[in-house]
């Protein structure tokens, strides 16, 4: 009895002081993006659900390479380039989309969890500053990044990368080419709060927006790694590339080192 209590105490101390990886989306086991095709609704294998995409083969939309990761991330073998081309329309919609959903039964939608990813853009195939991009969002949009002109705002263009909760901007920076932005959403599904951690390059993550109150609902399969771009009259489609690496979800305390546990 006594040793059981002691063991429980030790385990409890362990769980409160060590982060745990809940889900790993770092592409380390992928040979190429074609591996995403192994997943289907009837055969839910691998770390990602792949169904939100246009009509072309997967390699037109997602490409994996060591050159596409944050070079300061030594835990990721490769990163992913996501492309919106003129075929990137899903399911007859008028929005261009390329998105991956975590495939997992872990509790990524309960308690306090951290959603990590790094994002970069290049000068080549730069995302349009004239159109709204919803990036790495949940279905209810309680936390997400956005880039470009936000629907309804004044002016024609917007050069910023922003963090938003329910369409409210909490942080922004001019989105410059070649700069890796490391991001973690600190989500407390019990307390209904979300905070924003950020750094650039190889710098450790810092809490830049303390948790704010939001309705943090998720069914555990509705976080979209990728991009949804809204149409806008007068601003046609151009090919756009977005780079992602270091994608994973953990319980706390947060890992601030780039690349993760």
Q: Is-contact 185 193, C-beta < 8 A? A: no
Q: Strands 79-84, 62-65: parallel, antiparallel or unpaired by DSSP? A: antiparallel
Q: Using the minimum distance from each CB to ligand NAG, give the nearer residue, 72 or 143.
A: 72
Closest approach, Cβ 210 to ligand NAG, in A, equals: 24
Closest approach, Cβ 208 to ligand NAG, in A, equals: 17
Sign of CA dihedral 105, 70, 138, 261: positive
DSSP-derived secondary structure for 92-152: T-SSEEEEEEE---S-TTSSEEEEEEEEE--STTPPPSSS-EEEEEETT-SSEEEESPPTT
Residue nearest to ligand NAG (CB): 202
| 174/235 Cα distance (integer angstroms) | 21
Q: Using the minimum distance from each CB to ligand NAG, give the nearer residue, 66 or 139.
A: 66
Distance of CA 56 to the CA centre of its chain: 23
Which residues, 6 or more positions from 189, have their beta carbon under 8 angstroms from its beta carbon?
109, 110, 111, 112, 113, 216, 218
Q: Using the minimum distance from each CB to ligand NAG, give the nearer residue, 79 or 226.
A: 79
Closest approach, Cβ 82 to ligand NAG, in A, equals: 23
Q: Which residue has the tokens 């002081």?
A: 17
Closest approach, Cβ 80 to ligand NAG, in A, equals: 20
Closest approach, Cβ 72 to ligand NAG, in A, equals: 4
Which residues, 6 or more positions from 175, have their beta carbon under 8 angstroms from its beta carbon?
121, 127, 147, 159, 160, 161
Which residues, 6 or more positions from 71, have their beta carbon under 8 angstroms from its beta carbon?
180
Closest approach, Cβ 163 to ligand NAG, in A, equals: 22
Within 10 angstroms of residue 238's Cβ, the number of other Cβ atoms is 14
Give me the residues that bind ligand NAG (CB under 6 A), please.
Answer: 71-72, 201-203
Question: How many Cα neighbours within 13 Å face the side chain of 255?
Answer: 21
Closest approach, Cβ 258 to ligand NAG, in A, equals: 7
Q: Which residue has the tokens 């880039």?
A: 147
Q: Using the minimum distance from each CB to ligand NAG, give the nearer residue, 223 or 244.
A: 244
Q: Using the minimum distance from each CB to ligand NAG, give the nearer residue, 71 or 211.
A: 71
């Amino acid at each position: 009895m006594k040793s059981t209590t002691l063991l429980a105490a030790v385990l409890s101390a362990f769980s409160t002081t060590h982060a745990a990886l809940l889900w790993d989306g770092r592409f380390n086991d992928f040979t190429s993006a074609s591996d995403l095709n192994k997943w289907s609704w009837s055969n839910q294998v691998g770390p990602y659900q792949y169904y939100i995409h246009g009509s072309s083969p997967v390699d037109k939309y997602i490409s994996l390479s060591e050159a596409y990761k944050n070079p300061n991330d030594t835990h990721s073998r490769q990163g992913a380039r996501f492309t919106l081309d003129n075929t990137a329309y899903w399911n007859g919609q008028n929005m261009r989309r390329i998105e991956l959903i975590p495939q997992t039964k872990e509790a990524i939608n309960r308690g306090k969890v951290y959603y990590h990813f790094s994002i970069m853009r290049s000068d080549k195939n730069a995302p349009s500053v004239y159109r709204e991009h919803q990036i790495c969002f949940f279905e209810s949009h309680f936390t997400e990044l956005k880039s470009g002109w936000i629907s309804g705002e004044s002016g024609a263009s917007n050069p910023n990368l922003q963090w938003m909760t329910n369409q409210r901007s909490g942080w922004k920076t001019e989105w410059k080419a070649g700069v890796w932005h490391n991001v973690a959403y600190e989500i407390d599904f019990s307390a209904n709060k979300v905070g924003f951690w950020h750094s650039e390059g190889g710098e450790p993550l810092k809490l830049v927006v303390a948790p704010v109150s939001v309705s943090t609902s998720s069914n555990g399969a509705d976080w979209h790694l990728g991009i949804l771009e809204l149409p806008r009259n007068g601003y046609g489609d151009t090919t756009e590339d977005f780079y992602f690496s270091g994608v994973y979800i953990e319980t706390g305390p947060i890992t601030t080192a780039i690349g993760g546990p």
